[in-house]
Structures are given as structure tokens and as C-alpha cells.
Amino acid sequence: MSDATRVLVLNSGSSSVKYQLIDMADGSRPASGLVERIGESQGRIKHEPAHHAPRERYEAFPDHAAALGAVADELAADGLGLDSDRLAAIGHRAVHGGTRFTEPTLLTDEVVEALRELIPLAPLHNPANITGIEVARKLRPDLPQVAVFDTAFHATMPESAARYAIDRATADAYQVRRYGFHGTSHQYVSRRTAQLLGRSPEAVNVIVLHLGNGASASAVAGGRCVDTSMGLTPLEGLVMGTRSGDLDPAILLHLHRVGGMSVDEIDTLLNRRSGLLGLCGDNDMREIGRRTGEGDAEAKLAFDVYIHRLRKYVGAYYAVLGRVDAIVFTAGVGENSAEVREAAVTGLEALGIELDPVRNAVRGSAPRLISADSSRVAVAVVPTDEELEIAQQTFAVVRRTAG
Ligand code: AMP
């Protein structure tokens, strides 16, 4: 077997690059880190090697090339450089694969060109992804590099769930359909939940609640996604930190016609100034919990709106799946907020869902059950690990290509 068992996972955002080096031979993580504020007068790189003290530097990173150059230097300083012959591949998180990319894909010039054609579907995310890919391919042109798409896991949704009920020709002309996001997380967490239950993914139906600053729910039947709450963009569905989630689409027309707001203003309102932040001025669930504890009515209402929407999706996906084996919570809020978990599933005993309050209150970083032994539906907390999922999918592509 080749010694090249390490995968560098890169997540290139508009002003940041997150990275993690994962060794597929033993699951170890020799290094991880983050470059922030790319393009600003002062940026920051935080590098955390497994066997040395973490390092932090403040300097300007004018563009992604400078940022990735700094990442390469930090890795090299620990003997983990991009030229290491133990590096098997680079796995890139890619946000939007459209209908074309439904599998992890080996990057070629042609694939990069096709990604560029998808920019109109994800104008905020895809350009940064592509820049990261281009810079990394320049740094190591000979190394296999793979794009793992946030939309891919949802490509199995039936047409009845993926179609919006609008004129078909218009929808098709502009690629308007439901794609879904957070796919690597939903995939990882649903599979890990099956493992926690001691069953194969094909044998279980799971509702996954990915509740972070962005939030989405999915219905996974036998390992395949059959519905998810985000749509053409990550704006649809649950109430999020700063995004509204579901709305009457005529609200946009109303704000434009009656409120005189421009398209860009409405975009900013719905994506950056709505959700929990719009309702109460805070988007952090910890702060909302603290304020609610002090009797703050705005914070309480924000929490209640958030929970009401979440429960609607739990009920909807119960009906979509018909039989539910597990409901699983993940991401920042899902993994940490016992209050949100409790509020999301209390009173659903008639659906076979019984939470164990003591198990729910225990904090931990391991996947765990929080339902009562008598609960017909398991309720679980499974910390997400999108980097590991990207590394595994990347490594599998490299193995297949080499073999
Ligand atoms: P993520 O996007 O998955 O990193 O999640 C970030 C969000 O998780 C934050 O905005 C908080 O709302 C939430 N969060 C993190 N830690 C906690 C905690 N201990 N209790 C409640 N919410 C938390």
C-alpha cells in the first residue's frame, strides 16, 4: 500500500480559508487551521499542528493565493508541506454543484470551467471555491484534487420534492429547483447515526437537524436523501442565525413595490438581517438563552419562532418518511443546546418520540442517544464532521482513479 494516505481538506470562503490535514490510515489529524480576513488590511492565520504548540500570525493576505501560500508555509514548517510524498490528495469543499455534479469529482480544467458556469446559482460562494481550487492546483498541479459538493447528497431527492410549483419552462431556463445544502454533514451524520443504532444505513430512516448559524433539516430514507429544507439557495427552510428561512414569496414583491426596497437591499435583509438576529438582535443561541432566562420577551419570541418552524419540519419529514427510526441533532446549536433539543421534540410521545431529560442535559463530544429506553424513535446527538466526510470521499475517488 502506498504511504500517501493524507488528505488536505480546504474550505475556501469569500474572505477565509479553513484547512485540515487528515490521515486516512489512522484517522489522525496532523494539522488544522484558519486564515481569516483575506483582502483586508490585516488578516490572521491560526495554525494548529497536532504535535506542536498552535501558532498565530497577523498580516495582510491580499488574496487567496497569499492565504494558501501562508497555509503551505505553515504546514511545511511542521514537515507537513504540500510537497510531502505522504499527501495523497487535496479535497475541496464546493458549495453548489447544480444538477451536473452529484458525486465527488476529480478536478480537471474542464471541471473548473463547468464550475465557473455554475456561479450564477451560488454567486456568494462558488467564486471563492473556484479561486481556492485554482490556487491549490497551481501549487500542486500533479496532485489529484477533488471537489466535494454541498448539494450532492440531496441529488437523490425525488422530482416531487425537488420541483417548485412554478411554470416548468421558466424553472428549467434558469435552473430553478431545490438543490439543498449542508449535504456532506447530512450524509456523515445520517450514516454515523445508523452506526450508533448498530444498523446499516440502508436499514434506517433518519431526520437530520443540522442547526448551526445556517440550519437545515433533511429526511434520509435508507441512506438516501428524500427531502431537505434548503432549496435553490441556502435561504429556504428553517429559521437560522441571520436568514429568514421560509417566507411567503410575495413578501419580496411587497417590500419592493410598497417598501421601495431594491433587490440588493432585500437580499441583505433576508440573508444577513433576518432569522434570530432580525427577531431579537442576537444570532447566538447562547445569548438568546441567557436573555430569555432574564425574562426578555423579544429573545423568547425569537426562540419560539425558531422552535415552531423546527417542529413543523420534524412533523413534515415524519410524514415524508412514514417510519422514522431516529431524529438526530448536529452542528453548533444542535450539539450544544439541550433547551433547543428539548423544545423541538417534547409533546411528541404520540409519534413515539420520548426524550430522556437527564441524557439530554449531559454535555459531550461523542455521538450519543438522548431518548428514553421506551422511545420507539431514537433521538440522538451526533457531532458533525464535514472535513472527515470530504477527506473520505476525496480519498475514495483517488483510490478508484488509481486502481
Ligand atoms: P456552527 O455554524 O455549526 O458553527 O454553529 C454556530 C452556532 O452554534 C452559534 O451561532 C451559536 O448559536 C451556537 N452555539 C455554539 N455553542 C453553543 C452552546 N454552548 N449553546 C447554545 N448554542 C451554541
> For residue 374, which amino acid is it?
S
Q: What is the pLDDT of residue 3?
A: 84
pLDDT of the residue at 13:
87
- With a 6 Å cutoff on the Cβ, whether 237 touches ligand 1 is no
Q: Is 150 a catalytic residue?
A: yes
- The helices-and-strands tally (H runs, E runs) of the chain is 15, 14
290 pocket-lining for ligand 1 (C-beta < 6 Å): no
**Alpha-carbon span 98 to 380, nearest angstrom:** 31
Distance from the CA of 212 to the center of ligand 1, in angstroms?
6
Instruction: Report helix angle 183-196 to 386-402, nearest 10.
Output: 90
The pLDDT assigned to 131 comes to: 92
CB 216 within 8 A of CB 229: yes
> Each residue of 154-184: pLDDT tens digit?
999 999 999 999 999 999 999 999 999 999 9
Residue 1 clears pLDDT 60, i.e. is over it: no
Give CA angle at 257 (255, 262), nearest 5°. Answer: 65
Pick the catalytic residue from 26, 78, 150, 304. 150
Q: Any residues with CB less than 8 A from the CB of 122 and at least 6 apart, and which? A: 95, 96, 233
pLDDT tops 70 at residue 58: yes
> How open is the CA angle 283-285-286, to the nearest 5 degrees?
120
pTM > 0.85: yes or no: yes
Contact 239, 307 (CB under 8 A): no
Instruction: Give 10-53 pLDDT, tens digit per residue.
Output: 999 889 999 999 999 999 999 999 999 999 999 999 999 999 99
Hey, which residues does 90 pair with through a beta bridge? 8, 145
Cα dihedral value 14, 17, 18, 19, nearest 10: 140
Q: Is the CB of 285 under 6 A from ligand 1?
A: yes
Residue appearing with cell numbers 487567496: 64
Pocket test for ligand 1, best of 186, 290, 337, 340 (most atoms within 8 A of CB): 337
Where does 6-149 sit in CATH, by number?
3.30.420.40
Residues of the chain with CATH 3.30.420.40: 6-149, 198-386
Is pLDDT of 123 > 90?
no
The residue to mutate among 34, 93, 208, 285, having the most atoms of ligand 1 within 8 angstroms of its beta carbon, is 285
Distance 239 CA to ligand 1 centre (A): 14
> Among residues 380, 395, 402, which one has the least CA distance to residue 7?
395
Q: How confident is the model at residue 394 (pLDDT cuts 50, 70, 90)?
A: very high
Per-residue pLDDT, 19: 97
pLDDT digits (tens, 9 = 90+) for 336-361: 999 999 999 999 999 999 999 999 99
The cell numbers describing 144, all together, are 489529484
| Domain boundaries 198-386, CATH class | alpha beta
**pLDDT level of residue 295 (50, 70, 90 thresholds):** very high
